[in-house]
Structures are given as C-alpha cells and as structure tokens.
Chains A and B, each alone.
Chain A
Amino acid sequence: MSETYAGPLERIDDTRWRIPRSYKPQMRVDGIIYADDTLMETIRADKSPEQVANVACLPGIVGYSLAMPDIHWGYGFCIGGVAATDPEEGGVISPGGVGYDINCGVRLIRSDLELADVQPRIAQLVATLFDTVPCGVGRGGRIKFDPGQLRRLMVEGSQYVVRAGFGWEADLEMTEARGCLPEANPDYVSRRALERGEDQCGTLGSGNHFLEVQVVEEVVDPVAAAAFGLRVGQITLMIHSGSRGLGYQICDDALVDLRSAPKKYGIELPDRQLVCAPIQSPEGQRYLGAMRSAANFAWANRQILTHLAREVLASFFGRSAESLGLRLVYDVAHNIAKMETYEIGGRKRTLCVHRKGATRAFPAGHPEVPLAYRHVGQPVLVPGDMGRCSWVLVGQPAAMEKTFGSCCHGAGRVLSRTAAIKAAKGRSIEKELLARGVVARARERTGLAEEQPEAYKDVSVVAEAVHAAGIARKVARLRPLGVIKG
C-alpha cells in the first residue's frame, strides 16, 4: 500500500537530512531525519518522511520535527518520531505522537551468570520461561488486581508493584521516571480500557514483544559498560512489552475524544491521525491523565515480568535472584509524552516531548540519570531482531542540543507481515535460528515467521548512525541465546 516519498530531502551532513519548512505551507519548523546513506535508501521507499513533514505542522512545535534512523511508516507520526511542543505557545498533545502501545519500552537485567552456565541448558531455560511468563494474544496474567488495586497501580506504577513484593527498591532507581509519571488520572480511563487491561499486567503480549536471554558479546565503551555492570561473556535478560490492551484502548478512546478538538481550537491538520488538542485544554488534560495511567501500568507490567523472570532463573539455577545478581540495568520507555525542561536560546522551557518509537537518551550529569550512571549518562536500550543482536548505548550531550534528549529505539521493519510469512514458506524459522545459536519459542503459529530476522533492518546499522551523529555512543553488543515471543 505504501508509496515512495517524493518530497525534498536536503543533506545537512553525513547523518542528517532536512525537509525544509518551505515544503508545505502549514509546516512551522523544518523536519530533520537522522540516517546514513544506506538507511536513507529504505527510508525514501515509504511515506514516513511525509509524516515527519506533517508533524512539523503541529501548533507550538519547537525546533524541528525529528526522526531517528529506525524511522518507518506509522500512524500520524512516523515510528522513530520525536516532537517537542511548548504549552506556553499553544503547544498541542497528540495521541498519534505516543502511539497505541503507550509506554511500550525495554528493560535490561544483568546477571552474574556466564555463557558457560547457560548455554548447555538454554533449551530447558527457554522452555521454563515460556511456560511461566504469560505471553501471546490477550493472554491473562497469573497476578490479579481488583479494581481498587488497579487504580492505585495506574497512579503509582512500578512503585506500587515493588511495594507489593514484585521487585526490589533498587529497581525503581534504574527505571525511567522511577516507573511512575505524576498526575496520572484513572478517572479518564474508560470502562472498556479497564476491561481490556484488567488481567494483563504481568503479561508479555505478542507481535514484536519478547523476553530474550542474551550474552554480552562485545564491549565498545569499557567505562560506560563498567558503570552499567556489563562485561563480555555475561548473561543478560531483555524484556520488551508495554501497556497491553489498556493502553491500546486509551489511545483509541482519545482519538475519538479529540476528534472535534482541531475544529474547536482552529487547528488545521494534514492527517486526521495527528488529531490533537492544546496541552492545557480540557481535552488535552484528559488524554494526558489517561496516557500517564497507561504509562504507569506499562512500567508495572515490565516490573512484574522481571519478577517472574527472576523467579524462573532462581528456581532453574537453585539460587536466589539476589545471589544470581539479577539486577536491573535500566528500563526505558519508547512510546510516551513527557514534560521535560530544555535550555533553548539561553532560556529554560518546559516542553511536552513526544517520543513515538524513540528512546530518551540523557547525557552524563543530567539530574534524571541514576546516581550510579551520572558520570557516564543514561543507558539507551536498542533491541534488534531475534537472530542478530541488540545494543546498549549511552546518551550524549548532543542529544540535549539536537534531539530533545532522544535516540533510536530499535531496528525498524523492512518486510510487511504478509511478505515475511511468504518469505518463510518452506522454511523452519525455528531451525534456522537454532543454527544461529538461538532457541526460540512463540505462542502464535505465525509469530516466528512474521518476526524473522530478515523482517527487520540490521540494528547495528541503526546504532552506528546515532553513534556517528553523536546523540548516543555505543557501549555493548548483546547476542541472543534464547527468546520467547507471544
């Protein structure tokens, strides 16, 4: 269905391309895409640059409409899109700038285990994780919350479930925003959203969500790696999940609720999926209150998934999670809108930063970076496909100057799901992965075919692009050993 982008793209330098404001009369700022020449070939092949230009039309947008190197076609905003809007200048909040899976994100857990401890038993370990961690379409969790508990969970996020025994106090320090956005308001969460999410906290979901057992294969930045507790040969766990049905429905509800807002506030939009409202309007505040509730739900979800994984590993190796050193390295959101303060033109401005398939990448010294990492910067977790690798990066000062403290979030798809299924015909993706040293289990029949490595860009190319652009630096490469998917 996709068409190629035929609009202007002006090279700024080796890793940046500009869509000039003159491209469309409604554009208020330039669009900037971060990509090298190789990535730009695939980026031009869909309409995602058009979406970067459309986002540049939003009222109150500051600086640029940005896209990271893993850009691909999304809804309203492209995936990999970043936009900051200023509430003092009529800036808007757009659910399309967050996405349906609110606070979809990634967390990385390190261990004291070595490759030799895990590799001989990886098939059994993956099978045990697969049997224990709820995954798959609509799959309910083992842990139930009554309506009152669910409400507190949406207000308090990870902090609520850690206090309930699903994790360690130290996990909170290593979670973006300490796993809780303030001013969440569950009163703005619909009954239908609660129904879709009520038994899903502590479930992985399906699609590209996963739990992966990995080994640190390469350390590029020894100082940052040491700060993050990472070393070559060490076993790590990576979890990718979000706010499940609750978040999907909150976004869907908001797109209906905000439908009349553009007309009411005199906002002209080039794409109705960019529907938005001024941040300070009642409609904007309703969405923000509900979106923050979903964000907190997602952090609680990944926290419970961490707890379940710790339980599995403790039982499997016959040692406590503490003695296995299963410590959270970091948890980052990559579908979220947050109020953050930036110095622009010598003036501090608090902006609403939309990150849609983009990861926060704060540098050394930033007060929101955990104390233990403040001398190096915030870990940026960039998962790749299940056959190649994932990357740990670290935020750099240039991110604050150029990208509102943002970086890429993953590899980005290159094959549609139907094309991936066709490409998998006559093959066993499971066997192919095994030949590459990866044990994979998936709940849905088509799961492995749709998520096969060839369906994604090489995440190393994406990581190299942000490294070269100076917005994040490469720290360590992680190779998958086993993966469970929905």
Chain B
Amino acid sequence: MTETYELLEHTADMGVRARAATLAGLIRPCTAGLYAVIGQLVPTGDAQPWQFEVVGDDIALLLRDYLGEVLALFAADGQLIEIREVPEFSAQRLTVLGLRRPADPQRSIVQREAKAVTYHELSVREVPGGYEAVFIVDI
C-alpha cells in the first residue's frame, strides 16, 4: 500500500484520511495531509534537525499529539517538518526524526487557519494491506 492521504468533508472543518503499509508509514501522509488542510506550503532556508517523542497508552492519542506539535510549530514559528525516519510508532511510543525549515512566505499559499487537531473521530486502525489514520482539523 502506498503512502497516501485524502481530505474529508466535514460540516465546519476538514478531515484527513491517511493510509500506509505500516504504522510508521502513516506519519508522512498524516503530516502532508495536515499541511494540505492549511494550504500549499513550501519550505525554504537551512534545515535544522528535529526530533519528537511522546509516550502513552493509546496509539491514536500519540498520533494526535504529534500532529498537534507539528501544527503548533507552524502556527507559532512558521516551521515545516520534513520526516526522515520514524523509529517507533506503537501504542506506547511515537518517535519521529526529521528536519525543520521555515515555510517560504513568498511561495507558500496559506488558505486556512488550522486551530487544532481534534480528538473527534480520531482513529488509527489496521485495514487490508496496511493501516489507516483519520483526524479532523478545527478550522
């Protein structure tokens, strides 16, 4: 299963459904889907190493916390994340290694203000051929 995402309709907001062959593979399309909700974001400038780690007991909550951090980084600092490696994505831990770079204000098209990644209809589940994650972004 290739890593893909699609945007989902929601009355006031927008959802993302991402699919991948492995759990760890979900992180890249989920990140891309979140950025697609915001607009067309293009990185620029020097890349800095970036690492995120969260522990818990619910795989969907770990994903939400990761996406919440990615959103806050963009909203507060205009930083975009490029995933390099996901060493662990289990019900107990999510570790993501990547690079962060500023969004290019000239080439990026910001279409929506994403307030938060919500818990509503949040899910990570196994599907034939891989895994699927669904989350809704409050606009």
Q: Which of A369-393 contact B (CB under 8 A)?
A: none
Asked, given contacts A196-B75, A273-B120, whether A100 binds B115 with beta carbons under 8 Å apart, the answer is yes
Asked, given contacts A1-B15, A196-B75, A248-B115, whether A76 binds B120 with beta carbons under 8 Å apart, the answer is yes
| A221, CB-defined interface residue at 8 Å | no
Q: What chain A residues lie within 8 Å of B38 (beta carbons)?
A: 137
CA distance A447 to B112 in the complex (A): 8
Quick one: closest B residue to A2, CB to CB? B11
Closest beta carbon of chain A to B119's beta carbon, Å: 5
Query: A75 touching B118 by the CB < 8 A rule?
Result: yes
Asked, given contacts A196-B75, A256-B65, whether A444 binds B11 with beta carbons under 8 Å apart, the answer is no
CA distance A389 to B38 in the complex (A): 29
Asked, given contacts A100-B116, A259-B61, whether A138 binds B75 with beta carbons under 8 Å apart, the answer is yes
Query: A245 touching B13 by the CB < 8 A rule?
Result: no
Closest beta carbon of chain A to B36's beta carbon, Å: 12
Name the residue in A248, A251, A259 with the highest tally of chain B Cβ atoms < 10 Å from its Cβ: A248
Total interface residues in chain B, CB < 8 Å: 33
Comparing A178-186, A286-294, A312-320, A416-424, the segment that makes contact with chain B is A416-424
Q: What chain A residues lie within 8 Å of B118 (beta carbons)?
A: 75, 273
Contact mask for chain A residues 447-471; partner B; CB cutoff 8 A; 1 contact, 0 none: 1001000000000000000000000
| B83, CB-defined interface residue at 8 Å | no
Asked, given contacts A72-B11, A252-B68, whether A206 binds B113 with beta carbons under 8 Å apart, the answer is yes
| B109, CB-defined interface residue at 8 Å | yes
Q: Which of A160-196 contact B (CB under 8 A)?
A: 192, 195-196
Query: A79 touching B113 by the CB < 8 A rule?
Result: no
| A157, CB-defined interface residue at 8 Å | no
| A365, CB-defined interface residue at 8 Å | no
Q: Which of B65-116 contact A (CB under 8 A)?
A: 65, 68, 72, 75-78, 109-113, 115-116
Q: Bin the interface of chain A by size.
A: 35 or more
CA distance A272 to B10 in the complex (A): 19
Query: A72 touching B72 by the CB < 8 A rule?
Result: no
Q: What chain B residues lie within 8 Å of A480 (beta carbons)?
A: none
Contact mask for chain B residues 21-62; partner A; CB cutoff 8 A; 1 contact, 0 none: 000000000000000001100000000000000000000010
| B1, CB-defined interface residue at 8 Å | no
Query: A207 touching B139 by the CB < 8 A rule?
Result: yes
CA distance A192 to B39 in the complex (A): 22
Residues of A within 8 A of B (CB): 1-2, 46, 72-76, 79, 100-101, 136-138, 192, 195-196, 205-207, 245, 248-249, 251-252, 255-256, 259, 271-273, 275, 413-414, 416-419, 444-447, 450, 486
Q: Give 16 new A-B contacts, CB below 8 A, not counting A137-B113, A256-B68, A419-B9.
A: A1-B10, A73-B12, A76-B120, A137-B39, A195-B76, A196-B75, A207-B112, A207-B113, A248-B115, A259-B61, A271-B120, A275-B119, A417-B14, A445-B109, A447-B111, A450-B112
